[in-house]
Structure 1
Amino acid sequence: MKRTATLVVAQSIALGLLPIGALAATFQLEEATIAELNRAFDADALTSEQLVQLYLNRIEIYDKAGETPLNSIILTNSNALETARALDLERELYGPRSPLHGIPIIVKDNYDTFDLQTTAGSLSLAGSIPPDDAFQVQRLRDAGAIVLAKSNLAEFAFSPQRSVSSILGTTRNPYDLSRVPAGSSGGTGAAVAANFGTVGLGTDTGNSIRGPSSHNALVGIRSTIGLTSRDGIVPLNLYRDIGGPMARTVEDAVLVFEAIAGYDPADPSTEAVKNLTLPDYSEFLDKSSLKGARLGVLDELFRPSSGSTRAATASPEIERLMDEAIADLRSQGAIVEPTVIPDFDALVTATGGCNRFEYDINNYLASLGPNAPVKSLDEIIASGKFDPTVTESLIAGAAVEDVPPEQRAVCQTAEANRDVMRTAVLDVLDSNKYDAFIFPTWSNPPRLIGDETSPNGNNSGITAPPTGFPAITVPMGYSINNTLPAGLQFWGRPFDEPTLIGLGYSYEQTTKHRRPPSLFSALPGEEIEYETVPEPGVAIALSVIGVSTLGLKRKKVQSPA
């Protein structure tokens, strides 16, 4: 705060006009939200350059050092500090572009970045610099966000269970370094959970935003297919691929989501919103959203007593957390009841079978231009530069005829069956007047690293991806001695993200389950005490008694067009 403002504050305290407690504020990097960062920016207590350096310090000390490093970050952006300085100057002269101005983000390394290599976790793509940003990355940069680092992932996003790549190795769970962070966006999940950046981007073909969010006590949003662009994201299966936010709070996830949602001519799926005015998703951050809401519990995904073979190996710990969540939802006025989707398992099975990886990855590699390190899936396999865990998946992809999926009978059948499943899901929602389905994002705690045989528990791949309908996961508490995170998922109608956001926010604000991992505590210099800027009405009161208010607010000039 400017010296004049400090004098005003002191004089106002002496006159008894302002309570002392209202003037002091403390910024703490750990768990800092976008709103808190903006308050610190506005009070001149923090710059974006300082913020970037604080995060870089945490990455250097916590991600790479020690006997069991978290190992979530593939590389940091060497231009991040310079970009932050430029954004600080822009803020000083013209004001912020958006709430994301100067906010550092962690980007999964299957998003194209024009200034950083994009490898999808594979040594076969090491050194690949895309010609431009992925649509979502460009949207965030336009909003003033800073690409701080590229995060690790399950190589080519194949695995929902783990995040292991040939480019970096194994990412660990920050809540228990002996366990997995899930996949494929485990690097983003671990990094955001450990406070290496403010928010992050993940991708989700089966569970890969929602699974790592659940395992890392985060919020993850998988949008309706057609609401957010996949252009510039290394594809796995474009019938199901989505990119989206991973954050420590619903509000932060929504601020990112607002920036990335919308029409992109490079992704034909977004034609669905080409002529639509999208809502202000932040308006649906309403603590009372659960009051009167109707929610259907999909017991067959997690209750052994349901008789479903899918739930037979579900953890009693997760069932207990789900029962507690249901009680919390009801305490806020929600109507919660068990429900079923008839023939659910058969519907899920019928939507599978269309492996389009070779077609999609070859098209992506062609988009990189002549300098791409490899030009086809066949060249990736021939290079041998990949982790052994993805060998079978690569070979399976190459075994499929490289023709447009629309020309393959198995894909045509799968797509027709997806329409059948969509209708079945909507019938249950509509006939019961449900606002959403709910279930545990995983029905088992995070596995130990190297464990490939214990119960799976991944509920996410069989719900939103086959239908293309949206879902959001929110922290639900902790299993096994109150240490391992679990997530509650809301799954709803197409383009009904506003309802899911409201439900997730109301539940989050009721329960406040999110807490940082204890292994990654605050470092020196991460706490800043400062004095708050009086509200405009207070400044007027001070001027009435003859106290200058010069310096209370930083003056802005009009930004050039």
Structure 2
Amino acid sequence: MNKGEVNAQYLVEGYLKRIEAYDKKGPSINSVILVNPKAMERAIYLDSLYSRGVILGPLHGIPIIVKDNYDVKGLPTSNGTLALKDSYPPNDAFLVKQMKDAGAIILAKSNLAEFASSGYFTVSSVLPGYSRNPYDTRRTTAGSSGGTAASIAASFAVVGLGTDTGSSIRGPSSHQALVGIRSTMGLTSRDGIVPLALTNDIGGPMGRTVEDVAIVFDVIAGYDSTDVVTAKSINVKEESYQSFLGRSVVDKRVGVVHQLFIPEESDSSVYRLMIKAIKDMSTLGVTMVDSVKLPHLDSLNKARTAISELKRDYNGYLASLGDSAKYTSLQEIIESKEYHPYLKSNLQNAQADVDIPEEHNDWGKNQELRQALRDHITNVMDSLNLDALIYPTFTYPPRLIGDLNGPRGANSIKLSPPTGFPAIAVPMGYSYDKYPAGFQLLGRPFSEGLLFQLAYAYEQKMKNRRAP
């Protein structure tokens, strides 16, 4: 743009042509629910500002794809369900507003596992059929942000926004050779994102490079008065996460969590990639510490009682829509039958659970178990003087679409969501030289700058990503 070689209109036109050629035609990636009909109008406006020397921010003229559980004023927010197909929210989600204020163009809204309910596949009742992995269209994109990941991997926009309650930013990123970050709980706002479970819900960026993700993260991270949890970010948010890119990592120590990729429970090709990634990190000067054991990890996770927060959180979201809401409660949506059949029992179980999750008999026990896990991980990192932990996101390649029985080897739900600690997914190559695989770096609360620093150093040395 500075050189006058491209402008926002050129970018929007080019990405729209790619969506037209590849999303419902050709390989039929099937990742886009709707294209913003005013995207070009926004591009023309931004170009007119640029020509006068006015730049709104670091995303000026940059086309973005947003998962369709983010509120975008003027566009419907379906959450992947027919019940909300024509639901027009009154305001932008906070993260969307931040990006718009920085000059972004919301190009399209992407498919998701309906209700953001699955980390293993991406299918909704709004968009017929599964979203497909651009690296092998027979394979899953993972979920629930699989539509965003497929869109960005296929270059339908520059970067995207996903959400992560259990694995849904990091899993799809790993399956599609992307970088994706789940922030510390409290560093990014959940306002205007259709909830699944607010104790775990996080919104964040997914991109083809660490730098792209860091640029977006600088825009969206920080305090939002409409989401009280973000008060934790005051005084601890970094002034610039991009400033960590390119810093030396020779004094860093990373612990290898071998218990999360046992050879006999991992695909051999993915396992070899993980071992290679560990060795490659060490060539950067990072001290890789093999003697990491996370005591009681499995027992602490298994001891928690399943308590659904969906009814309380979803009813709260529907109330935020005001008079325009077609449905005012989860129960009404269940009765409408306007959702994918695979969700029926999950929705009914959520409706049958307690009205106020905090009043469940086991709520206090669950919170104690979460704190115990935080303490165990922090104590291990402190005792070994570790800056981060490393482990593979999946220990198996992407499954074939429709295969719900094959091995999945997902690690994303085991450390980051229950602790609220940040984790970044980084491409580490291709199993069998064709299926993307990735590892995660998990850090202490609000250590995102350090995670970007490590991820960028590895990415720049290895340059693993190749276009599908």
Pick from 312, 318, 327: which aligns with 1:365?
Answer: 318
1:432 to 2:384 alignment: yes
Distance apart, 1:351 and its partner CA = 4.0
Change over 3 Å in CA distance of 1:448–1:356 after alignment to 2: same
1:8 alignment counterpart: none
For 1:409, what is the secondary structure of its paired residue?
coil
1:95 to 2:47 alignment: no
Partner Cα separation in structure 1 for residue 414 and residue 105 of structure 2: 34
Alpha-carbon contact 2:236-2:446 (below 8 Å) kept: no
For 1:370, what is the secondary structure of its paired residue?
helix
1:498 alignment counterpart: 449
Change over 3 Å in CA distance of 1:325–1:275 after alignment to 2: closer
Partner Cα separation in structure 2 for residue 278 and residue 285 of structure 1: 13
1:514 to 2:443 alignment: no
1:229 alignment counterpart: 189
Alpha-carbon contact 2:187-2:237 (below 8 Å) kept: no
1:328 alignment counterpart: 280
Q: What whole-Å deviation, never above 9, does each CA across 1:158-192 have from its counterpart, x for those lacking one?
A: 00000000000310000000000100000000000
Alpha-carbon contact 2:307-2:353 (below 8 Å) kept: no
Letter in 2 for 1:163: T
* Structure of greater Rg: 1
Distance apart, 1:275 and its partner CA = 4.9
Deviation above 6 Å: which 4+ runs of structure 1? none
Distance apart, 1:293 and its partner CA = 1.4
2:101 alignment counterpart: 142
1:153 to 2:112 alignment: yes
Alpha-carbon contact 1:439-1:489 (below 8 Å) kept: yes
Count of aligned positions:
466
Letter in 2 for 1:227: L
Pick from 346, 356, 362: which aligns with 1:393?
Answer: 346
- Structure 2 unmatched ranges of 5 or more: none
Deviation larger for 343-352 or 57-66: 343-352
Partner Cα separation in structure 1 for residue 352 and residue 255 of structure 2: 41
Q: What whole-Å deviation, never above 9, does each CA across 1:277-328 have from its counterpart, x for those lacking one?
A: 6321111002532x13111111111123xxxxxxx53111111000110110
Pick from 381, 384, 401: which aligns with 2:337?
Answer: 384
Partner Cα separation in structure 2 for residue 85 and residue 410 of structure 1: 55
For 2:334, what is the secondary structure of its paired residue?
helix
Q: What whole-Å deviation, never above 9, does each CA across 1:124-176 have from its counterpart, x for those lacking one?
A: 11100000000000000000000000000000010000000000031000000
1:442 to 2:401 alignment: no
For 1:430, what is the secondary structure of its paired residue?
helix
Distance apart, 1:397 and its partner CA = 0.8
Alpha-carbon contact 1:287-1:505 (below 8 Å) kept: no
Partner Cα separation in structure 2 for residue 157 and residue 411 of structure 1: 23
Q: What whole-Å deviation, never above 9, does each CA across 1:496-523 have from its counterpart, x for those lacking one?
A: 1111110111111111001110xxxxxx
Pick from 177, 187, 203: which aligns with 2:137?
Answer: 177
Change over 3 Å in CA distance of 1:324–1:101 after alignment to 2: same
Cα-Cα RMSD = 1.1
Pick from 44, 69, 72: which aligns with 2:28?
Answer: 69
TM-score (normalizing by structure 2): 0.98
Distance apart, 1:99 and its partner CA = 2.1
2:234 alignment counterpart: 274
For 2:33, what is the secondary structure of its paired residue?
strand
Letter in 2 for 1:381: I
* Same amino acid, percent of matched pairs: 51
Partner Cα separation in structure 2 for residue 119 and residue 280 of structure 1: 33
Partner Cα separation in structure 1 for residue 262 and residue 346 of structure 2: 31
Which one has more relative contact order, counting CA pairs under 8 Å at least 6 apart? 1
TM-score (normalizing by structure 1): 0.82
Pick from 195, 210, 221: which aligns with 2:155?
Answer: 195
Change over 3 Å in CA distance of 1:471–1:63 after alignment to 2: same
